[in-house]
C-alpha cells in the first residue's frame, strides 16, 4: 500500500500557540512527523511525505531520523490545498480500466500516538474505503482501495467521506482506534503525547519542560521554566 | 465474563451543566447507560449495574429498554466510593486458592459510543489485565483476569493501573479504541455522541434540540430553542 503523509512545512500547529512559540511548534510538528513515519516504516510500508514546500529529512529536522526511515521515505512537494493535493495521489483507473489500481493510505502528520499495530488495522481491511475518524468529526487516516473515491477535508470530513463513498456505492469501514483518533492540535492534546506518545514527540515536549501534573484528580500538563 | 457498570444515580455529569439542566443531565446519563447495557448484552454478556442508590430499569428511565436488556441486567447497590465498590467485585482467590476466579470487566456508564465490536476487543484478550484508556489518562474500561489486581480510579488511573499491574508482575494489554476512549463528560464531547452514538443517547440529545453545526470548518453542536 502506498502511504501518503500530508505535511504543512510552514507555520504548523497554530492552535498550539497559547503554549508553544513558533520555533517550538515547528520542532514538535517535525517530531510528530518523524514518529508517524517511523510507525509506517515499522509496519512495512514506504511513506511519501506530501509537503507544502521543499523539506529535507536530514537538514530540516532537529532530531535524527533512523536510517530505515530515511531510506524508505520519499518527499513530494505540492503546494495546492490539502484536498486537491491528496486527490491527485489517490488510486486512479487506468485508461483501459482493466487493471486494479494500487491502494493508497493517507495518514495525517500530527497523529503522534500512531503505532504500527494501529496502522495495520487501517491497512488490513478490504472495504473500498477505511476511515479512522478523529475527534470532532475529522478524518485522521484513511485507506482507499477504489478509484471512484475522492476526499473533501473541509468541515465534518468523516461524515462527508461516508456520504461521498455511499453516493458511489462504495463499502466503508470505520477503524476504531484511539491512537489514530488523536490528532495533536490543541494544548489539551499534549497530555496524550506525554502519556501515550512513542518516541520523538514526547521527548521533544519533555525537552521543552512539559510534564504531567495532577490537578483536582484530573491529569494535565505543566511547563517548568527550567 | 462478568461485566460491571458503575453508575452514579444522583447528580450525574455535573461538568455538562453549562449546556444541560440537571433534569436533562439525568436523562442523558440514563440514555448513555442504556446504550452501554445494550452493547454489553448484544456482545453476549449479562451486565451488573453497580449503582450508588436504588434504581429501577423500568420506572426510573424515560426511555424503553429492550426486553433483552431488562432480562439480562442486574442492579447492585453500593454507596461506597467508586474504587472500593469496584474492588469488591473484582476476581478474588478462593480460600483454597486452587480454582481460577471468573474474569470481571468494568465498563463506565458514560461510554455512549460503545459497540459490541469495541467491547469484544476488550473481552477477547488473554492478558491478566486489559485496559481501554480514556482521554486525559483515565481508565474507561478494563477486563481483569487475575485476582492480584485492584483498581485505583483517582487521578491518572491509566498510568496508575499499569503500575499496579507491573508491581504484581501482571501482564497488561492496552485496548486501542476510540469508542471506548470517549467518555462523555464535557460540552465538547456531545459532538461525538451526535456523530458516532448508537441509539438512545443521540436520540435524547436531538430531542433536547442539539444538532451538529459547522463553524470555521470545524464541527460543533448547537442547540435550538425549538
Condensed to tens digits (0 to 9), the pLDDT of residues A33-54 reads 999 999 999 999 999 999 999 9
CA nearest to B160 within chain A: A195
Instruction: Name which of A111-120, A194-203, B82-91, B148-157 the model is least confident about.
Output: B148-157
Among A118, A188, A218, beta carbon nearest to B176: A118
Residue B98 has pLDDT above 70, yes or no: no
Q: Provide the pLDDT for residue B215.
A: 81
pLDDT digit string, tens, across residues B55-65? 999 988 889 99
CB contact under 8 A, B219 and A156: yes
Q: Are B94 and B101 in contact (CB under 8 A)?
A: yes
State the sign of the Cα–Cα–Cα–Cα dihedral A217, A218, A219, A220. negative
pLDDT at A124 over 70: yes
Output DSSP code: residue A103.
P
Of A126-135, A217-226, B27-36, where does mean pLDDT reach its minimum? Answer: A217-226
Strands A2-7 and A104-107: parallel
Concatenated DSSP letters of chain B: -EEEEEE--SS--GGGTTTS-HHHHHHHHHHHHHHHHHHHHHTT--EEEEESS---TTTT-SS---HHHHHH-EEEE--S-HHHHHHTTS----TTS-SPPPPEEEE-TT-TT--HHHHHHHHH--SSEEEEEPGGG-EEEEEE--TT-----SSSHHHHHHHHHHHTT--EEE---HHHH----SGGGHHHHHHH--SHHHHHHHHTTEEEEEETTEEEEEE---
pLDDT of residue B155: 80
- All cell numbers assigned to A184: 495533536
What average pLDDT does the segment B40-54 reach? Answer: 97
Question: Sorting pLDDT into bands at 50, 70 and 90, what band is B135?
Answer: very high
Instruction: State the pLDDT at residue A97.
Output: 67
Mean pLDDT of chain A: 94
Compute the nearest-CA separation of A57 from chain B (Å): 30
Q: CA dihedral in degrees (A192, A193, A196, A197; nearest 10)?
A: 160
A217 pLDDT band, cuts 50/70/90, is confident
DSSP A14: G
**For testing contact with chain B, the best of A82, A116, A117, A135 (most B CBs within 10 A):** A135
Between A and B, how many residue pairs show a Cβ–Cβ distance under 8 A?
76
- Minimal CA separation from A220 to chain B, in Å: 7
Task: Inform me whether the pLDDT recorded for B81 exceeds 80.
Answer: yes
What pLDDT sits at residue A5? 98
Query: Where do the structural domains in chain B lie, given as residue ranges?
Result: 2-185
* C-beta separation of B132 from B175 below 8 A: yes
B93 — pLDDT class (breaks 50, 70, 90): confident
Span A136-162, mean pLDDT? 94
Q: What is the mean pLDDT of the segment spanning A150-159?
A: 91
Work out the angle at residue A133's Cα, subtended by the Cα atoms of residues B203 and A57, and round it to the nearest 5 degrees.
165
pLDDT reported for residue A218: 79
Q: Are B105 and B180 in contact (CB under 8 A)?
A: no
Cβ-proximal residues to A151 (8 Å cutoff; 6+ apart), any chain: A83, A86, A87, A90, A106, A139, A142, A157, A161, A164
Split at pLDDT 50, 70, 90, the class of B115 is: very high
- CA geometry: angle A103, A109, A113, nearest 5 deg: 100
Mean pLDDT of chain B: 94
From the list B179, B180, B195, the residue facing A159 with the nearest CB is: B195
Q: Which residues contact A146 (CB under 8 A, 6 or more apart)?
A: A91, A128, A129, A168, A170
**pLDDT of residue B97 exceeding 70:** no
CB contact at 8 A, A132 and A177: yes
pLDDT > 70: percent of chain A:
97
Cβ distance B196 to A133 less than 8 Å, yes or no, reads yes
Closest to A123 (Cα-Cα) out of A139, A101, A107: A107
d(CA A180, CA A134): 7
Is the confidence metric ipTM above 0.90 for this complex? yes
Q: DSSP code of A34?
A: H
Segment A85-100, tens digit of pLDDT: 999 999 987 766 666 7
What pLDDT shows up at residue B212?
Answer: 94
Contact B156 A219 (CB under 8 A): yes
Mean pLDDT, residues B180-195 taken together: 96
Q: Do A176 and B118 touch (CB under 8 A)?
A: yes
Residue pair A155/B213 in contact by the 8 Å Cβ criterion: no
Q: pLDDT tens for residues B174-183?
A: 999 999 999 9
The angle at the Cα of B163, spanning B161 to B167, to the nearest 5 degrees, equals: 120
DSSP characters over B104-160: EEEE-TT-TT--HHHHHHHHH--SSEEEEEPGGG-EEEEEE--TT-----SSSHHHH
Give the CATH architecture of domain B2-185: Alpha-Beta Complex (3.90)
pLDDT at A216 over 80: no
CA distance to partner chain B, nearest, from residue A98 (Å): 36
Amino acid at each position: 500500500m502506498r502511504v501518503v503523509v500530508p505535511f504543512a512545512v510552514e507555520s504548523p500547529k497554530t492552535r498550539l500557540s497559547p503554549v508553544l512559540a513558533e520555533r517550538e511548534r515547528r520542532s514538535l510538528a517535525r517530531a510528530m512527523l518523524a514518529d508517524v513515519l517511523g510507525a509506517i516504516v515499522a509496519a512495512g510500508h514506504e511513506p511519501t511525505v506530501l509537503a507544502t514546500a521543499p523539506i529535507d529529512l536530514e537538514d530540516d529536522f532537529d532530531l535524527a531520523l533512523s536510517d530505515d526511515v530515511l531510506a524508505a521515505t520519499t518527499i513530494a512537494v505540492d503546494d495546492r490545498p490539502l484536498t486537491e493535493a491528496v486527490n491527485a495521489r489517490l488510486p486512479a483507473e487506468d485508461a483501459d480500466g482493466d487493471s486494479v489500481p494500487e491502494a493508497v493510505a493517507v495518514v495525517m502528520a500530527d497523529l503522534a500516538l500512531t503505532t504500527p499495530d494501529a496502522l495495520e488495522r487501517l491497512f488490513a481491511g478490504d472495504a473500498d474505503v477505511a476511515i479512522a475518524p478523529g475527534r470532532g468529526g475529522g478524518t485522521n487516516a484513511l485507506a482507499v482501495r477504489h478509484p471512484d473515491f475522492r476526499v473533501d477535508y473541509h468541515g465534518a470530513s468523516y461524515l462527508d467521506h461516508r456520504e461521498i463513498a455511499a453516493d458511489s456505492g462504495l463499502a466503508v469501514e470505520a477503524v476504531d482506534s484511539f491512537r489514530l483518533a488523536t490528532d495533536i492540535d490543541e494544548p489539551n492534546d499534549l497530555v496524550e503525547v506525554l502519556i501515550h506518545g512513542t518516541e520523538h514527540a514526547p521527548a521533544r515536549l519533555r525537552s521543552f519542560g512539559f510534564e504531567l501534573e495532577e490537578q483536582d484528580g484530573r491529569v494535565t500538563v505543566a511547563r517548568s521554566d527550567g
